[in-house]
């Protein structure tokens, strides 16, 4: 019986109370017991999304909710802009292409932050009314400034993938005027995977096209949710889990969660640098979701991950697509605290040593603790 | 703390071992721990689906997997046939209409069994190459003869919604030549809701059109599954539960499950009739999934259900659409045994009495036990 440690940016570790809620006896999704849970979870989602708008809840992965935006907002041939700076920007592109949209990409190097002014200028030049972008692209650790992007694109409808950022870093959906926000249960929200959400305010609902998806049809799902009657049999157990998880998050407060994530990011970066490794994600407090690290010369990142997993039971995340083998990623969203970071860093340090890298031992963990102890306010 | 009893045909009660599996710590969906579970569940699904074909597993409700068939098999304007004899036949129609197919309906009264020869003749007359139908329509309790329907429609691609029938009544996907079978986790498979599946053999994959869904794209999902790498973050906890549930089902054996469901159906019908109530679902062994019962004169079925729920903590299922208030439904798929039927019947008897119906007390449960004790073989 080997003990396992999960330090990935999704699915993330889930608190025992959240897991236990998911193991309660099944309730019927059209009964009073479920309606109470459903009302609670939908209300809590609004609080976490920072909006008074409807947050539609789907039994699906985050990609399903991403697709719902393309399927409801656009018709084939519609001109749209996708801002891509990582694997999930490429996913927006693939979704939009599958929906036969006239897709104009604004591509940044993976690891680079999109320039809001540049995005606004490109959107005006392309003459697009709908813009898809990432808040956090988990593949690189880059968190983009969606507030400035919204200001820059003006009246264009901005659809933000916040699957890995919601609950980890500030996202003022309504105050910043973000039109649509997509998220998922299995990241900073600390619940098991299986649920995805999308916030759709009235001004966006008013502009939907006939949905090309039955399952992800926004008006159909909204109509059912409005009377607490899910359109399709929902994952009642996972919804129960999500409700408990959101309760834990809101009890602590979003501000406290944001501060914790900033400090966890600082701790991880300090530890990584103390080990002599090079960061791939930005070396500043924006990188509070996941820390991407370049493997040292002569070490294949995927080999490091296999060693961590097979030798020590520790799971970190690999680089995606062209970054495969070049970087590895330490998640710190959701149910993470500094001792998880200490374990992850210690495991990396030990494994790199075992693989023959020249790492000075013992520096990473103290550096992490020191960085964590500095308050995040005014960062 | 009121004790609750769930006697609905989905979501159905889930065995404690299955619930417990869903509460285990989260595993990463691209790691060795999950791949082992994934391989097991995909293998077990093939056994339960009675096919060597790929069974694609989606994080979604059954309706999502239903939609995947329309989104992958057809292009807008394609001529298709839908056989409808209940609420879920109407769902096929709604899905096909949303996909802008040229839909030809063969409609039966709710509660009537489709006539395979008639279906075949209509399909030939309509000149359609794709036929959508239900195996069991949960709204009425009717289980149709999909083997005879397949024989009758010949070369047309037959897509069968077996969400509530798979694992409850025989469905020989491969031996009967059924082209596509759709199912869900939360019915006879005894797992929580949140997962849906569709069996897609090679000859069907060869005829797919460009998918109009990114999330439910069959080739994309198959390509990922082939290397045990889910295309999108799957509901790892629910998959773990489903794997345990399928293990329980296969350990007992499908034949034993089918026999148990026949006997549970008999017991329910015997009890209902002993109470002096009239069956809505057929009064024969085909009705092994759910028993639909007409409310007695002067009693609104929905009022009976509210009474059962609010007074006794017992949940049964209502009639849908035009049957609302007229019938109620007792489920007996999945983790049900005769004492659940006894409880359900006793609760109905008590509640009807409390609501002023003239019911002779004490006859239903003994009648149910007697009917249950007769072996189902040669039924």
CA distance B80 to B101: 7
**pLDDT value at position A343?**
98
Q: Are residues A155 and A207 located together in one domain of the fold?
A: yes
CA distance B292 to B86: 12
Min Cα distance B212 → chain A (Å) is 7
Q: Are residues B257 and B122 located together in one domain of the fold?
A: no
Contact B309 A24 (CB under 8 A): no
A156-182: pLDDT as tens digits: 999 999 999 999 999 999 999 999 999
Tell me the average pLDDT of chain B: 97
Q: Are residues B263 and B184 located together in one domain of the fold?
A: no
Cα torsion B338, B340, B346, B347 to 10°: value is -160
Would the pLDDT of B376 be above 70?
no
Query: Among residues 148-187 of chain B, which lie with CB inside 8 Å of chain A?
Result: 184, 186
Does B192 fall in a domain? Answer: yes
Cβ-proximal residues to B373 (8 Å cutoff; 6+ apart), any chain: none
Does B105 fall in a domain? Answer: yes
pLDDT band at A376 (very low <50, low <70, confident <90, very high): low
Q: For residue B125, give the CATH number of its domain.
A: 3.40.640.10
**pLDDT value at position A334?**
97
The answer on whether B91 is annotated among ligand-binding residues is no
Contact B98 A6 (CB under 8 A): no
Q: End of a domain among A252, A282, A308?
A: A252
Does B117 fall in a domain? Answer: yes
B36-51: pLDDT as tens digits: 999 999 999 999 999 9
Q: For residue A283, give the CATH number of its domain.
A: 3.90.1150.10
| Cβ–Cβ < 8 Å for B265, B9 | no
Q: Tokens 């609905």 map to which residue?
A: B8
**Mean pLDDT value across residues A84-92:** 97
Min Cα distance A379 → chain B (Å) is 32
Output the 3-class SS for B86-150: CHHHHHHHHHHHHCCCEEEEEECCCCCCCCHHHHHHHHHHHCCCEEEEECEECCCCEECCHHHHH
Q: Are residues A334 and A231 located together in one domain of the fold?
A: no
**pLDDT value at position A374?**
83
**Mean pLDDT value across residues A137-161:** 97
Contact B26 A10 (CB under 8 A): no
Residue B75: closest CA among B23, B149, B129: B129
Q: Is the ipTM of this complex over 0.90?
A: yes
Contact A25 B10 (CB under 8 A): no
**pLDDT value at position A157?**
98
A217-244 burial, b at 16+ Cβ within 10 Å, e below that, comes to bbebbeeebeebebbbbbbbbbbbbbbb
Domain extent for A187: 16-252
| Cβ–Cβ < 8 Å for B336, B168 | no
Q: Determine the residue among A26, A68, A218, A308 to mutate to test chain B binding: the one whose Cβ has the most chain B Cβ atoms within 10 Å.
A: A26
Q: Are residues B99 and B57 located together in one domain of the fold?
A: yes
Does B379 fall in a domain? Answer: no
Residue contacts between A and B (CB atoms, under 8 Å): 193
Burial (CB count <10 Å: 0-12, 13-18, 19+), residue B77:
exposed
Q: Are residues A199 and A346 located together in one domain of the fold?
A: no
Does B358 fall in a domain? Answer: yes
pLDDT band at A377 (very low <50, low <70, confident <90, very high): low
Nearest to B234 among A28, A99, A193 (CB): A193
Structure tokens at A12: 């993330």
Does A283 fall in a domain? Answer: yes
pLDDT band at A35 (very low <50, low <70, confident <90, very high): very high
| Cβ–Cβ < 8 Å for B135, B161 | yes
Q: Are residues B310 and B213 located together in one domain of the fold?
A: no
Q: How many folded domains does chain A comprise? A: 2
Q: Tokens 């929200």 map to which residue?
A: A189
Would the pLDDT of B375 be above 90?
no
Cα torsion A210, A216, A217, A218 to 10°: value is -110
Nearest to A235 among B26, B27, B192 (CB): B192
Q: How far is CA A330 from the centre of its chain?
A: 14
Q: End of a domain among A208, A228, A252?
A: A252
Q: Are residues B133 and B107 located together in one domain of the fold?
A: yes
Min Cα distance B117 → chain A (Å) is 31
Q: Please tell me if residue A67 touches chain B, with a CB cutoff of 8 Å.
A: yes
Tell me the average pLDDT of chain A: 97
| Cβ–Cβ < 8 Å for A231, B111 | no
Q: End of a domain among B199, B220, B252?
A: B252
Does A321 fall in a domain? Answer: yes
Q: What is the DSSP letter of A272?
A: H
Q: Are residues B79 and B137 located together in one domain of the fold?
A: yes
B151-180: pLDDT as tens digits: 999 999 999 999 999 999 999 999 999 999
Q: Are residues B232 and B257 located together in one domain of the fold?
A: no
Q: Are residues A223 and A287 located together in one domain of the fold?
A: no
Q: Are residues B145 and B221 located together in one domain of the fold?
A: yes
Structure tokens at A193: 């995977």
Does A361 fall in a domain? Answer: yes
């Amino acid at each position: 019986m080997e003990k396992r440690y999960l330090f990935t940016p999704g699915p993330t570790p889930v608190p025992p109370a959240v897991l236990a809620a998911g193991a309660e006896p099944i309730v019927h999704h059209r009964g009073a017991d479920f309606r109470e849970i459903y009302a609670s979870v939908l209300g809590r989602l609004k609080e976490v999304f920072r909006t008074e708008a409807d947050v539609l809840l789907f039994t699906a992965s985050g990609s399903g909710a991403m697709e719902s935006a393309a399927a409801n907002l656009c018709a084939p041939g519609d001109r749209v802009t996708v801002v891509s700076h990582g694997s999930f920007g490429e996913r927006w592109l693939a979704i939009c292409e599958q929906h036969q949209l006239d897709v104009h990409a604004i591509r940044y190097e993976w690891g680079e932050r999109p320039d809001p002014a540049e995005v606004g200028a490109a959107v005006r030049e392309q003459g697009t009314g709908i813009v898809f972008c990432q808040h956090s692209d988990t593949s690189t650790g880059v968190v983009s400034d969606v507030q400035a992007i919204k200001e820059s694109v003006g009246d264009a409808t901005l659809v933000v993938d916040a699957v890995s950022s919601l609950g980890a870093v500030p996202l003022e959906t309504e105050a910043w005027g973000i039109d649509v926000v997509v998220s998922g249960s299995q990241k900073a929200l600390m619940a098991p995977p299986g649920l995805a959400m999308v916030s759709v305010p009235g001004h966006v609902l008013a502009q939907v096209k006939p949905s090309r998806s039955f399952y992800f049809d926004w008006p159909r799902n909204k109509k059912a949710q409005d009377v607490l009657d899910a359109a399709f049999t929902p994952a009642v157990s996972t919804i129960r889990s999500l409700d408990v998880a959101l309760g834990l998050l809101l009890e602590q407060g979003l501000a406290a969660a944001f501060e914790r994530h900033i400090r966890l990011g600082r701790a991880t970066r300090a530890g990584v640098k103390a080990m002599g490794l090079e960061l791939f994600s930005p070396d500043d407090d924006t990188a509070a979701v996941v820390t991407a690290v370049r493997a040292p010369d002569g070490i294949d990142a995927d080999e490091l991950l296999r060693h961590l997993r097979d030798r020590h039971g520790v799971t970190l995340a690999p680089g995606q697509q062209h970054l495969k083998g070049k970087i590895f990623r330490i998640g710190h969203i959701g149910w993470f605290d500094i001792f998880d970071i200490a374990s992850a860093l210690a495991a990396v340090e030990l494994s790199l040593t075992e693989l023959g890298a020249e790492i000075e031992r013992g520096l990473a963990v103290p550096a992490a603790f020191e960085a964590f102890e500095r308050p995040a306010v005014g960062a």
